[in-house]
Amino acid sequence: MTIKKKPNYNFIIGSILTGLIVALALVSLVYTPYDPDAMDAANKFAGISLKHPMGCDNFGRDIFSRVMEGTKNTLFVALGTVAIGTVFGILLGAFTGYFGGILDEILMRINDAIFAFPSILLALVIVSLLGSGKYNVMIALGIAFIPSFARIVRAEFLKNRELDYVKSARLMGAGSLRIMFVHILPNTFSVLASSVMIGFNNAVLAEAGMSFLGIGVQPPDASLGRMLSEAQTYLFSTPSYAFFPGLVIILMVLGFSLLSEGISQKSV
Amino acid sequence: MLLEVKDLNIEFHDHLTPETVVYDFNLSLKEGEIVGIVGESGSGKTMSALAIAGLLNRKDMKKSGEILFDGKDLLTCKRSELRSYQGNDISMIFQEPMTSLNPVKKIGAQVEESLKIHTNLTKEERYQKAISILNDVEIKDPESVYHKYPHQLSGGMRQRVMIASAMILEPKILIADEPTTALDVTIQAQIIKLLKKLNKQKKTSILFISHDLSLVRTLCHRAIVMKQGYILEEGNIEEIFEHPKEAYTKQLIEAIPALEL
Amino acid sequence: MSDVILEVNQLNTYYKERGEKKKHVCKNITFQMEQGEILGLVGESGSGKTTLVKALLGMVKDKEGAIKLNAKMPQMIFQDPYSSLNPSKKIGWLLQEPLRIKGGFTKEEREKKAYEMLKKVGLNDNIFNHYPRQLSGGQRQRVSIALALMLEPELLIADEPVSALDVTIQAQIMDLLLKLKEEMGLSILFISHDLRVVYKMCDRVLIMEDGEIVEQGKVEEVYKNPAHPYTKMLLEAVTTV
């Protein structure tokens, strides 16, 4: 008997792309070729060269350095968003799904109401209350992401709480919190993992979108969406200004989608 | 000989490694005969039955051997020919009466389904036939059951409906895959009686797949004992129960708790 | 007469689904269970036996009548060995969990007890690091039994513990339960729809229909001289089949 195994291209390409992007962000923590905020009037709209591999922008800032910086910020906001959404989503979903009853009804109707708004619109409202900036965008998007995670976790808890292993845990004397977070929660991970990955992609795009609209990461901080927004004026004169941040966003989302697809294939 | 299976091998191909689930399966079924296939989980009994019913995917399963029905090989015949046998001459009922009926369709429509596919009867004729077959499977008040949905019926009633829809074209062979396993004991006994009655009245041959030897003993004329894809033993019911040749058959018989009254 | 471990007196339970009329599930249930006996509970689906068990375990809110339990927390084994073990935990972890919750054991003590219990139910040590999905149905049911016995309960409720298993495995699990009963002095409330299994396992039997206990008594006597028509019907179903 021979084991025929098709190479998991999704996983390979996905991890290479994601690895590259994450490496870019990590390196930017300690080193960028130039100070991403340093202006240099002599290099305004400088073309692609060895000194500036992606050229320079309207202030003469090195685009490559700013893309690195922007990748870091975008990733940071996206991770924060997903973290907030997941943690609160798990809490909300676990309690409503496990206990049910009137609390569940109320929280889930609120959840539905929030869910009815496009998440970016909701985030816009929250940002207008909190003010803009990196952390506020994270909180705003995070809140907007809670309902979708809460739903998934709730559905899993609803399903699991009826299973005999939960009854058996209760007969052992386990308390509700222990049953919820030690016994049931690990069984939701496989479903949760795929939605976290999709959520991460949405967060990247949402952050880019909000920064593009000027309410996300504030200047002079770089963000990929912010750079796109600044570049639109110079789209024809200096296309590289818009091209590279856009390319990184595409690669980031593509890489992550492929990776999550690859992981789910692997676990089958 | 109505049905003859010769050296059937079934190999799965949807996993990483091809896996043979049935080895050299041989079976002959005469008209009006009830043959039991006995085995535990993983014995290949259901796979063999599905192959005979023509319900195994042609692509994922490599099958060798012959399944001769009225002299025609079901494994190699055209797809359209196979379709004309299915439901018409060979039909099947399953273990789970909860999932084998379509929950959003009325009982009447489901019982008539094969009439629609295989005959040109009018609506009125179909209705008459459906009512009469529902009567045959001893459903009380068939006119009202006709207009009900599956969830309005009990498990036993649903299994009767399943049998009705399998029997409506008076097939030559009925394959019953653990048809009573999910049912309560009293209902189980009723269904077994019903199968016996249908076999007598309509001369339908039955291939009865079960893990329950006591059921096989009361219902079947002959039995085949399977384990891990192989046929271990085959013979008349009395012979198998009184003088089992294989140790495994003995083990199976001894596993039934005795009831001395 | 030995000690009574469980006494149920005039138990009635009710169940209400949203928008429906209140249903009377268990009706005037009265029975006693003695220390060290295996009491069979026979009924078909909808007979209320599952509700009765839930009530015994304190999982039914709307009830009246008295349940007197002269034992520590009863433990339970379930019908479906696939849903009764947490799929995300290793067997070793699961077996230690009751002790972890109870508290007062070191890790070494817990592991030692878990290994001892595996041996008692006839399983190999290497199962300790397996996940439930790596085990067969029979092995899983053995693990469920081990899990239920970790706290050394006096009363074990077995809800159709063999009906999802292959016949040869069924026989093994029944023998195991009988052996453990002797060794550990268990009392077992044995729920089953299979009268043959009950005949092999039980000392006395309760026959339930529509929420009522229609007949109870020693297994041989009930089987030989069934008094209630429903019991007769059940026995007929097994003997004709």
Residue A144 domain-assigned (yes or no): yes
Residues of A in contact with B17 (CB under 8 A): 1-3
Residue A20 domain-assigned (yes or no): no
Give me the phi and psi of B70, to 5 degrees please. 50, 35
Q: Are C183 and C31 in contact (CB under 8 A)?
A: no
Residues of C in contact with B218 (CB under 8 A): 240-241
Rounded to a whole number of angstroms, the distance from the CA of B212 to the nearest CA of chain C is: 8
Residue A173 domain-assigned (yes or no): yes
Q: What does the block give as tokens for B56?
A: 């195994």
Per the structure, the complete domain to which residue A225 belongs is given by: 10-15+62-267
Report pLDDT digits (tens) over C8-60. 999 999 887 777 778 888 999 999 999 999 999 998 888 888 889 989 988 88
Amino acid A144: pLDDT: 86
Amino acid A3: pLDDT: 47
| Pairing outcome for strands C63-69 and C75-77 | unpaired
Amino acid B257: pLDDT: 80
Residues A121 and C61: their CA atoms lie apart, in Å, by 45
Amino acid A103: pLDDT: 85
DSSP state of B257: P
How many structural domains does chain A have?
Answer: 1
Q: Are A130 and C40 in contact (CB under 8 A)?
A: no
Residues C124 and A197: their CA atoms lie apart, in Å, by 40
Q: Note whether B192 contacts C: Cβ–Cβ < 8 A.
A: yes
Task: Give the CATH number for residue A168.
Answer: 1.10.3720.10
Residues B157 and B169: their CA atoms lie apart, in Å, by 20
Question: What sign results for the dihedral spanned by CA atoms B137, B143, B148, B154?
Answer: negative
A164 vs C83, C97, C151: nearest CB = C83
Contact B185 C193 (CB under 8 A): yes
Amino acid C130: pLDDT: 93
* pLDDT at residue C240 greater than cutoff 70: no
C168 vs B155, B184, B252: nearest CB = B252
DSSP state of A45: T
pLDDT-based confidence at residue A268 (cuts at 50, 70, 90)? low
Residues A69 and A134: their CA atoms lie apart, in Å, by 13
Amino acid A208: pLDDT: 84
Lowest mean pLDDT among B75-89, B118-132, B152-166, B239-253: B75-89
pLDDT-based confidence at residue B14 (cuts at 50, 70, 90)? low
DSSP state of B92: E
Residue A149 domain-assigned (yes or no): yes
Amino acid B261: pLDDT: 65
Strand partners, C209: C212
Residue A92 domain-assigned (yes or no): yes
Residue A105 domain-assigned (yes or no): yes
Amino acid A8: pLDDT: 81
Amino acid C164: pLDDT: 84
Residues B104 and C43: their CA atoms lie apart, in Å, by 31
Lowest mean pLDDT among A46-55, A70-79, B121-130, C103-112: A46-55
Does the bond joining A33 to the residue before it have cis omega, within 30 degrees of 0? no
**Which of helix, strand or coil describes residue B173?**
strand
The share of chain B scoring above pLDDT 70, in percent, equals 97
A168 vs C74, C76, C87: nearest CB = C76
Amino acid B15: pLDDT: 62
State the DSSP string of A134-146: HHHHHHHHHHHHH
Element (H, E) at B206: strand B205-210
Residues B197 and B44: their CA atoms lie apart, in Å, by 28
* pLDDT at residue A51 greater than cutoff 80: no
Residues of B with CB under 8 A from a CB of A: 16-18
Task: Using only the alpha carbons of chain A, give its radius of gyration.
Answer: 22
State the DSSP string of chain C: ---EEEEEEEEEEEE--TTSPPEE-S-SEEEEEETT-EEEEE--TTSSHHHHHHHHTT--SSEEEEEEE-SSS-EEE-S-TTTSS-TTS-HHHHHHHHHHHH----HHHHHHHHHHHHHHTT--GGGGG--GGGS-HHHHHHHHHHHHHTT--SEEEEESTTTTS-HHHHHHHHHHHHHHHHHHT-EEEEEES-HHHHHHH-SEEEEEETTEEEEEEEHHHHHHS--SHHHHHHHHHHHH-
Residues of A in contact with B16 (CB under 8 A): 3-5
What does pTM read for this prediction?
0.81
Residues of B in contact with A5 (CB under 8 A): 16
* pLDDT at residue A171 greater than cutoff 90: no
Report pLDDT digits (tens) over A222-245. 888 888 888 888 888 778 888 888
Residue A214 domain-assigned (yes or no): yes
- Find, among A89, A81, A85, the residue nearest to A138 by Cα: A81
Residues B112 and B168: their CA atoms lie apart, in Å, by 8
Report ipTM (2 d.p.): 0.83
What is the three-state SS of C44-101? CCCCCHHHHHHHHCCCCCCEEEEEEECCCCCEEECCCCCCCCCCCCCHHHHHHHHHHH
Residues of B in contact with C174 (CB under 8 A): 257
How distant, in Å, are the alpha carbons of A95, A198, C206 from that of C162? 34, 43, 18
State the amino acid at position B202 in one-letter form.
K
Chains A, C: CB contacts within 8 A come to 50
- The residue behind tokens 């079960």 is B210
Residue of chain A whose alpha carbon sits nearest to that of B14: A4
Rounded to a whole number of angstroms, the distance from the CA of B120 to the nearest CA of chain C is: 40
Mean pLDDT computed over every residue of chain B? 88
Amino acid A88: pLDDT: 94
Amino acid B56: pLDDT: 80
* pLDDT at residue C66 greater than cutoff 80: yes
* pLDDT at residue B129 greater than cutoff 50: yes
Rounded to a whole number of angstroms, the distance from the CA of C124 to the nearest CA of chain A is: 22
Chains B, C: CB contacts within 8 A come to 71
Report pLDDT digits (tens) over C100-136. 998 889 999 999 999 999 999 999 999 999 999 999 8
Amino acid A1: pLDDT: 40
Contact C167 B252 (CB under 8 A): yes
Residue of chain C whose alpha carbon sits nearest to that of B155: C45
* pLDDT at residue B184 greater than cutoff 90: no
Amino acid A114: pLDDT: 81
Residue A41 domain-assigned (yes or no): no
Amino acid A267: pLDDT: 64
Amino acid A2: pLDDT: 44
Q: What is the mean pLDDT of residues C170-198?
A: 92
Q: What is the mean pLDDT of residues A93-111?
A: 88
Residues B20 and A258: their CA atoms lie apart, in Å, by 34
Amino acid B40: pLDDT: 86
